Amino acid sequence: MSLVAHLSRRYHFAASHRLHVDALTPERNRDIYGKCNNPFGHGHNYVVQVTLAGAVDAVTGMVTNLGDLDSFAQREMLDLFDHANLNTLKCFLDLVPTTENLCVELWRIFAQYPHAKLERIRVEETGNNAFDYFGDGAPVRHEE
């Protein structure tokens, strides 16, 4: 019988973005996005929490090797997003770089991690705003 455990690991990066839809008028963009529509953009110190699940290895006692996970996160996420303007990245060229969309993009990235099953991506944008994504088609979960 194998034990299954969940592992959550946090990563940090700084990035800027501007929330704007070219098809909308400047007034409508300001109405929707407020100060986040600043033509010069604005930045955040994002905190990303990745939650993985997997069998606890009988020899190592781990769900996954943290070194493997950290290397993957560095190569696939941090090298791309840290100190970037999100609007200029290929994944956001035709997509508003909201934190909701960032969660989905990070899910796409970490779903490729081969050593454990991705369960959740959580992105903290500010002390007041955090966003969770549980994968395409996952039921909405309400915390009590």
What mean pLDDT, rounded, does the chain reach?
94
**Which residues sit opposite 8 in a β-bridge?**
51
pLDDT at 2: 76
pLDDT band at residue 99 under the 50/70/90 scheme:
very high
pLDDT higher than threshold 80 for residue 12:
yes
Q: Would residue 52 be called left, alpha or beta, if left means φ above 0 and alpha means ψ between -120 and 50 degrees?
A: beta
- 4-133, which class in CATH? alpha beta
Sequence-separated (6 or more) residues with CB below 8 Å from residue 130: 122, 123, 124
Active site residues: 36, 83, 125
pLDDT higher than threshold 90 for residue 142:
no
Cβ atoms < 10 Å from Cβ of 50: 24
Going from N- to C-terminal start, the domains of the chain cover 4-133
**Which residues sit opposite 121 in a β-bridge?**
50, 133
Alpha-carbon span 9 to 30, nearest angstrom: 36
Alpha-carbon span 41 to 14, nearest angstrom: 13
- Report which listed range, 2-6, 55-59, 66-70, is most confident: 66-70
